Chains A and B, each alone.
Chain A
């Protein structure tokens, strides 16, 4: 720096000389420099714009792919729902309507029995006795004109009549009683018919409601197949909800697994040693973790075999016989592992007591003094937890499946968002460089204001002179 200021005896003069020299060089290099600056700005603008367009295109294709994935997942889910509904309808039809012929026969038999009983219960009026007319004729004979013995005949007839009347009344009462009995017998038949018809009505109603549900699902399915925006939007928001809910459940499951881990890690040291390390971690901890992971795997396989989840299509596609075998095998293994865990939990409690007793001995306390009669409760609770937690962890498969499926959508949405932001940033950068080049060109002119002013003045004078010359010539 001092060298630059020492080209003349006076530093100020040297500085002035340098300024003049630099301004002159800059002035003469101005057109080239401007062209270079502006060209650089334009190039950067084009590069970033192209990059932005490329990213935007990638975003569009990713959005398209996400849409397809979402629609495919939605289609699959709807197919499962519709399939399940049909399965239920099939069950209802098989269970309730398969014995329709028997039902029909029952109804016919009941109706036939009612008809027969009704027929038998028809009230037949008793026949009038044939000798009534004779009685009437005898009754018309005048007592005065009567012959000997008519009075006694009439008396006999009267007796007979009374007797016949009594017999007729008894017969009539008997017939009425029989009719009433028959009518009473008809009552349960009517009730049975009514109950049967109620059941049929209920089943038909259930079928109708299921069919309306299927209609609704089919409508949604059609929307998905058509790829309508509304369906995509619904599926997308559902995925978000499923993602957060399943993540929450998985966090709870992880908490359960950690408790499980703490239950078995300590006693595991009795089996594999407490000091050996594997990759920097205690072998006992790794062994406990492996047991828990094996349990979770068994739970996954069990859920797959039961066709509750569909993470492994191979298991779902197995023949039913093999699948049932697999259910039993995985359940047995889970049961054995749960029993092992319960044993380890018991061992943990024993070790803890042993350690407490040793610590008390080392402290000089009386080890026998610290006995608690209710310690069996914690031991039993630990054993219970050790046994139950593996089975509880089995159900992790359900939220895990939902999490995995919804994760695809979420990752796609995040990637789309990132690509969109990148595209905007690249575009902003491109425009920024473009305007920056203009700004730099203006800044370049800033120290050259004197020669530029001079040049502008000179050129205006020249143009005025040329105008005058033109006027003179014209």
Chain B
């Protein structure tokens, strides 16, 4: 009888133990430099899709890539969804409004600091501590740093999925496609060396696998 009581108590304690998190965190970097400003509507489409995939207790942030992206000021909108479904819906609607405002008002930046944005993303997601961490980079992946900015830093990307979206070909890429391929390879190497998982999605009609 004592053994039985002990088993029951153990089972109850085990059932009350906090379970491991199953939420996900997504940080989206949007390139606002140069001609990429024209692609904002596509970025909005991806944000809406991401919002539809996220649920209660998930975290989502959207940040711009500009001259110096390693800054909280570059975060356009961020949210950690509530437990209650009705609140989640309300939060999503507010988020969409913020993104709409951003898309309408954003200005083109002269430089492109992707690494700084990635650093900011890692910091944000590590702070939130979700089970799955995803960084979406909406950019042509051509980094253009202002003089004096140091971005040759090791980033720990263990447990991160880094997904490059809509990596457009530049005019120079058309002249010499090796530049485009080299750019992709460089980022893949950089991410995988840091322990992350790299993926490229250029066809925005096939976002089903995303998140």
Residues of A whose CB lies within 8 Å of any CB of B are 266, 269-270, 273-280, 350-351, 354-355, 357-359, 361-364
Contact = CB atoms under 8 A, between A and B. Distances in A.
B15 A362 contact: no
Contact of A361 (B15, B16, B93): B93
B86 A279 contact: no
Given A279-B14, A280-B19, A358-B93, A274 B83 contact: yes
B197 interface: no
A273 B85 CA distance: 8
Contacts of A364: 48
Contacts of B85: 266, 269-270, 274, 351, 354-355
Contacts of A362: 48-49, 51-52, 92, 96
Given A279-B15, A362-B96, A355 B84 contact: no
Contacts of B167: none
Given A358-B92, A361-B93, A362-B92, A278 B15 contact: yes
A273 B84 contact: yes
B86 A270 contact: yes
Contacts, number: 59
Contact of B83 (A266, A276, A350): A276
A259 to B, nearest CB: 20
Nearest to A269: B85
Interface in B66-117: 83-86, 88-89, 92-93, 96
Interface in B152-177: none
Contacts of B14: 279
A278 B52 CA distance: 26
A354 B93 CA distance: 11
A354 B84 contact: no
A357 B89 CA distance: 9
Nearest to A271: B84
Contacts of B88: 274
Interface of B: 14-16, 19, 22-23, 48-49, 51-52, 55-57, 83-86, 88-89, 92-93, 96
Contacts of A274: 55-57, 83-85, 88
Given A275-B22, A279-B14, A351-B86, 17 more contacts: A266-B85, A270-B86, A274-B56, A274-B84, A274-B88, A275-B23, A275-B55, A275-B83, A276-B83, A278-B15, A280-B15, A358-B92, A359-B52, A361-B93, A362-B49, A362-B51, A362-B52
Contacts of A277: 19, 22
A286 to B, nearest CB: 10
Nearest to A355: B89
B170 to A, nearest CB: 29
18 contacts: A269-B83, A269-B85, A270-B85, A273-B83, A274-B56, A274-B85, A274-B88, A275-B23, A279-B14, A280-B15, A354-B86, A355-B85, A357-B89, A359-B52, A361-B92, A361-B96, A362-B52, A362-B92
Contacts of B57: 274-275
Contacts of A354: 85-86, 89
Contacts of A359: 52
B89 A358 contact: yes
Closest 3 pairs between A and B when the two form their complex, measured CB to CB: A279-B15, A273-B83, A275-B57
A355 B51 CA distance: 12
A359 B93 CA distance: 10
Nearest to B97: A361
A337 B157 CA distance: 51
B94 to A, nearest CB: 11
Contacts of A279: 14-16
B158 to A, nearest CB: 25
Contacts of A351: 85-86
A278 B16 contact: yes
Contacts of A363: 48, 52
A56 to B, nearest CB: 34
A275 B23 CA distance: 9
A269 B92 CA distance: 18
A354 B23 CA distance: 22
Contact of B56 (A275, A278, A280, A350): A275
Of A269, A351, A358, A361, most B-chain CB atoms within 10 Å = A358
A350 B89 CA distance: 12
Of B16, B49, B88, most A-chain CB atoms within 10 Å = B88
B86 to A, nearest CB: 6
A424 to B, nearest CB: 37
A351 to B, nearest CB: 6
A266 B88 CA distance: 14
A139 to B, nearest CB: 123
B59 to A, nearest CB: 12
A266 to B, nearest CB: 7
A216 to B, nearest CB: 49
Nearest to B12: A279
A290 to B, nearest CB: 14
A24 B164 CA distance: 85
A265 to B, nearest CB: 12
Contacts of B23: 275
A350 B16 CA distance: 31
Contacts of B51: 362
Contacts of B52: 359, 362-363
Nearest to A272: B83
Nearest to B50: A362
Nearest to B49: A362
Of A270, A275, A278, A364, most B-chain CB atoms within 10 Å = A275
B115 to A, nearest CB: 31
A409 to B, nearest CB: 29
Nearest to A278: B15
A472 to B, nearest CB: 86
A259 B69 CA distance: 52
B84 A270 contact: yes
B95 to A, nearest CB: 10
Nearest to B16: A278
Contact of A269 (B15, B84, B89): B84
A219 to B, nearest CB: 48
Nearest to A357: B89
